[in-house]
Amino acid sequence: MWKDGKRWVYSITYDEGCAALLEHAVPVHRRYGIPGHVALVAPQIGVPRDVPGSSYHGMMILSREQIHGLAKEGWGVSCHSMTHPNITDENADYEVVESRKVLEEKLEMPVTIFCVPGSNQNYPASLKVARKAGYRAILTIYDRVNTRETDLMCLGRCPVHTEYPEPFFSVFDPYKRIHQAIDMNGWIIDYCHCPMPGKAIHPAKDCSLEELEQRFETVCRIGGDEVWLAEPNQVVEFLLNK
């Protein structure tokens, strides 16, 4: 079983760490008692996001003070690389190893999880240097339920998006993998970006605020007393010390 005898675990992460989370998503987290987690591009703290071509380019990113405020509410952080590029053997030291040092200096807090940017094509090169960097876990974009036996350096994350990109066009499902996690005594790590009221910024990369609330309501209603609502760093710590 999991901490305090819980049957399964639910976590959620937000790539980029947009400041708009404070206005929209954070109040929903507080209503349901679910801690969050932000994956941060190391140098981009308290500044407009600088990733040209991204749907979130130009959006303000949480400041150090705002991140520390969320940490007091149980939120956690991970490193999302130095520049959000394609990670190769040639740039992995800079993007994975050096980025952790930069982010820890900016935040003045430990960062022990790496979050793969872009696609899983960036995972192999990241993995090669992650242990050298001192990371204890890696968040990927493999859509699956984790278990207590899952390799912490290859954690799956379930996209909570309005609509998957072509050719699938799968629509938002508030029940996604919940019953599977219960049956497997597993761990769901959801991910999205910055849920906004009415409509997702990018339907294939995000959900709306209303869909986020529907997801949380479903997790809590079905999970009841059997679900551990946890931030990923908490779960990693539990697994490493079990």
Q: For 30-49, what is each residue's pLDDT tens digit?
A: 999 999 999 999 999 999 99
CATH architecture of 3-240: Alpha-Beta Barrel (3.20)
Among candidate residues 27, 71, 7, the one with its CA nearest the CA of residue 229:
7
- Are the CB atoms for 157 and 147 separated by under 8 Å? no
Which two tokens mark 31?
Answer: 């209503």
Would you place residue 168 in the very low, low, confident or very high pLDDT band (cuts 50, 70, 90)? confident
Task: Answer yes or no: is pLDDT of 89 > 90.
Answer: yes
For the chain, what are the domain ranges? 3-240
Q: Which tens digits make up the pLDDT trace of 139-157? A: 999 999 999 999 999 999 9
DSSP state letters, the chain: --GGG-SEEEEEEEES-BGGGTTTHHHHHHHHT---EEEE-TT-SSSB---TT-TTTTPBBPPHHHHHHHHHTT-EEEE--SS-----TTTHIIIIIIHHHHHHHHHTS---EEE--SSGGGHHHHHHHHHHHT-SEEE----S-B-TTS-GGGB--EE--SBPPTTT-PBP-TTTTHHHHHHHT-EEEEEES--BSSS-SSTTT--BHHHHHHHHHHHHHHHGGGEEE--HHHHHHHHHT-
Q: pTM for this one?
A: 0.97
